């Protein structure tokens, strides 16, 4: 069982650290978009797409960088008492509070799943059924069959009118990866409580 836990922790930590390192360079992409926005407003016709692309890049930067932030322990915590505690007591406290984080992430995943289904034209209350039907249609009939399951695809109400499902999917993916990282942190805390390190 320990080898399974150790493998899970190593796999999730390695993946989220690699993704976090890649995503942190998204800040430069966002800076480039905003620089182009300033230049186009000053010297040319203003670009319609720059503000929304910058917002979408910020969502990806923030949400996909979240799992690595959890892994590094760079999230905000009250350090008034925590810093003076022993490593074992910190692990007990972290193991307790990670359940609150996991509950919150499950609520966010449910909301992101429903919102992503809505952006793909599902206006019902069962997003899991919609995604099951979408996957079955795609596997059995290809993109054309999947297109029949998808309804009216949601677009932004701005002048540029981009599709919203990609950014909602990024949010769903980021929340799921944060949940995997929270489980990894819980496993590490349990190991610390037992006097081990993973």
- Choose the weakest-confidence range: 82-86, 104-108, 165-169, 170-174: 82-86
First to last CA, the chain: 13
Average pLDDT for the chain: 90
94: pLDDT strictly greater than 90: no
Task: Go through 32-58 and write b for each residue having 16 or more CB atoms within 10 A of its CB, e for each that does not.
Answer: ebeebbeeeeeeeeeeebbebbbebbe
- Beta-carbon contacts of 194 under 8 Å, excluding residues fewer than 6 positions away, are none
CA distance 107 to 134: 23
CB 90 within 8 A of CB 39: no
pLDDT for res 123: 87
CB 182 within 8 A of CB 70: yes
Mean pLDDT over 64-88 rounds to: 83
């Amino acid at each position: 069982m320990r080898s399974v836990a150790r493998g899970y922790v190593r796999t999730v930590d390695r993946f989220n650290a690699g993704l976090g390192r890649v995503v942190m360079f998204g800040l430069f992409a966002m800076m480039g978009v905003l620089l182009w926005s300033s230049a186009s407003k000053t010297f040319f016709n203003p670009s319609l797409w720059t503000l929304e692309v910058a917002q979408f890049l910020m969502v990806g930067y923030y949400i996909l960088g979240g799992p690595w932030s959890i892994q590094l322990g760079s999230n905000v915590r009250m350090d008034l008492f925590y810093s003076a505690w022993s490593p074992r007591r910190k692990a007990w406290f972290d193991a307790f509070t990670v359940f609150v984080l996991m509950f919150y992430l499950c609520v966010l995943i449910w909301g992101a799943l429903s919102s992503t289904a809505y952006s793909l034209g599902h206006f019902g209350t069962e997003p899991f059924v919609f995604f099951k039907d979408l996957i079955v249609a795609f596997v059995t009939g290809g993109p054309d069959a999947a297109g029949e399951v998808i309804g009216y695809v949601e677009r932004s109400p701005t002048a540029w009118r981009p599709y919203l499902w990609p950014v909602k999917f990024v949010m769903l993916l980021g929340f799921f990866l944060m949940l995997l990282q929270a489980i990894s942190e819980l496993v590490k805390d349990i190991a610390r409580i037992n006097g081990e390190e993973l």
